[in-house]
Amino acid sequence: MVDENQEQDGGGVPLPDEQGFYGQYGGRYVPEMLVPALDELEAAYQRWKDEESFVSEVDDLLKNYSGRPTPLYFARNLSEHLGGAKIYLKQEGLGATGAHKINHCIGQAVLASRMKKKRIICETGAGQHGLATATVAARFGFPCTVYMGAEDVRRQATNVFWMRQLGATVETVEDGTRTLKDAVNAALKDWTWNVGDTYYLLGSALGPHPYPMIVRDFQSVIGREVRAQIMEAEGRLPDVLVACVGGGSNALGLWNEFLDDEAIRLVGVEAGGRSLEPGEHACRFEGGRTGVIEGYKSYFLQNDDGQVQKTHSISAGLDYAGIGPQHAYLRDIGRVEFSPASDREVIEAFQLTAGKEGIIAALESSHALAWVVKNAGSLPEDNVVVVNVSGRGDKDIFIVADAVGDEAWMKYCREYGAGRIQ
Ligand SMILES: *Cc1c(COP(=O)(O)O)cnc(C)c1O
């Protein structure tokens, strides 16, 4: 059955198709044992997503718990400084937990409660997804287990601290490279053994169907608000919508509402890292190739054996070797243009935004800002650009301090024993 409520891709085809594909990407490549769980999830989502009490519970939490709608702010100083298009910032960092991730966590937590699940599990790399999941688990009274590689537990001590304060159990994974992919495997193992009562809460618009669709839909509130806000501010639709792309949830959240408005340019910014040499960046469209990894088909940075390639980014939230399947599709059909931003450009954009607007953006979001810094000046003055500032930068204090070499801060860290990241 084709669901008419699903978003169109611009060609009139609802995506994903019944098997969960976006063109050739996506799908569901999982062990037999997990198929019933994904079927159950998909059925529950279709059952509840438009149901009145479900929608109003999600909306109420988005509004009164997380503080939506987030503002769409006209960055006058930045616009004048760059001397081109008018730049608007969608301030997702002002929501609960300081980033957009709370949107799909709220949606999935309400879904888990409707499905009468008894506990929530997730995996996390940088810890931001674990934090947002632990947050909604606390709110809903779900016991919560967060799987995290031992290396990441060490690097992300503050997030681990807050997850534990929120009542989550952080399981340190000692297998493999002790990072995200090992945490994914551990979480999947847990889910396999406990499918009956456990909700696996995914953190981006990726993984096996129906997760990319569910996460995208819950994030689409961003674009719906932007449409209303820009109509009020400018009386017309924007010309360019820019977002950083890790797994792809904040970007799809911004774009989904506008996919059919073909005149609007959609720009996705990937982590250009230190250079575009293998292992030095996380640009799936600069050196990645198609593959099936972690349950879905998409572009992945891989070595010759098809193993996931090591990645690097100054922002922990963008250093993922894969990308959500809808992004691979939108890029293939030419609907979205992707562009890298290097670590250096990101720090510069971060500092410029802080200095001109007093806004401390997350380093992930600063990738999108870096594109604007590079390109806004050459766009006509009557152009309107909306940048998704997916999160605030408080969490990045160690990395930024390191990048700018702030001696007073380093001294404080040494004296008070706070760990530097590296
Ligand atoms: C996790 C994160 C991202 C990257 O994830 P997407 O799914 O690509 O949005 C971007 N910005 C912030 C602030 C994040 O925490």
Read off the pTM.
Answer: 0.95
Note whether residue 235 is domain-resident.
Answer: yes
State the alpha helices, DSSP H only, in 156-248.
157-165, 180-194, 211-219, 221-234
One domain for residues 162 and 300: no
Q: Look up residue 140 and give its two tokens.
A: 């809903």
Question: Interhelix angle for 52-60 vs 101-114, to 10°?
Answer: 140
Residue 123 annotated to the active site: yes
Active-site annotation holds for 234:
no
Domain assignment present for 409: no
pLDDT band at 229 (very low <50, low <70, confident <90, very high): very high
Q: Which of 197, 212, 227 is the last residue of a domain?
A: 212
State the closest ligand 1 atom to the C-alpha of 203, by its place in the atom list counted from 1: 7
Q: How far apart are CA 44 and CA 38, in angstroms?
A: 10
**Is residue 240 domain-shared with residue 324, that is, in the same domain?**
yes
- Single out the residue in 212, 246, 281 at which a domain terminates: 212
- DSSP letter (8 states) at residue 178: S
- 3 class by beta-carbon count within 10 Å (0-12 exposed, 13-18 middle, 19+ buried): exposed
164 and 86 in a common domain: no
In a domain, 286, yes or no: yes
List pLDDT tens digits, range 182-198: 899 999 999 999 999 99
**Can you give the CATH number for the domain in which 372 is found?**
3.40.50.1100
Same domain, yes or no, for 292 and 174? no
Give a yes or no: residue 14 inside a domain: no
In a domain, 416, yes or no: no
Active site residue 366: no
Which residue of the set 7, 57, 92, 123 is catalytic?
Answer: 123
Task: Judge if the beta carbon of residue 94 lies within 6 A of ligand 1.
Answer: no
362 lines ligand 1 (CB under 6 A): yes
Tell me the residue range of the domain where 43 lies: 22-64+101-212
Residue 16, preceding peptide bond in cis (omega within 30° of 0): yes
CB neighbour class for 121 (10 Å; exposed up to 12, middle 13-18, buried from 19): buried
Residues 163 and 311 in one domain: no
245 and 111 fall within a common domain = no
User: What is the rounded distance in angstroms from the CA atom of residue 176 to the CA atom of residue 258?
Assistant: 41
- Do 150 and 268 lie in one domain? The reply is no
Specify the pLDDT at position 179: 85
Query: Is 81 found in the same domain as 222?
Result: yes
Domain termination residue (choose one: 212, 228, 263): 212
Residues 261 and 166 in one domain: no
Residue 421 lies in a domain: no
One domain for residues 223 and 175: no
In this predicted model, what pLDDT tens digit does every residue of 148-187 receive, in sequence order?
999 889 888 899 999 999 999 999 999 988 888 889 999 9
Beta-sheet pairing, 86-91 with 72-74: antiparallel
- 417 band by pLDDT with thresholds 50, 70 and 90: low
- Tell me how many domains the chain contains: 2
**pLDDT for position 418:** 52
Say how far apart CA 211 and CA 38 lie, in whole Å.
9
Q: What is the pLDDT of residue 411?
A: 86
Does residue 164 lie within any of the structural domains?
yes
Per-residue pLDDT of 113-123, as tens digits, reads: 999 999 999 99
Q: Are residues 233 and 184 in the same domain?
A: no
Helix (H, G, I), strand (E, B) or coil at 129: helix
The catalytic position among 86, 101, 181, 395 is 101
Q: Are residues 239 and 173 in the same domain?
A: no
Tell me if 16 is assigned to some domain. no
Region 300-307: mean pLDDT is 91
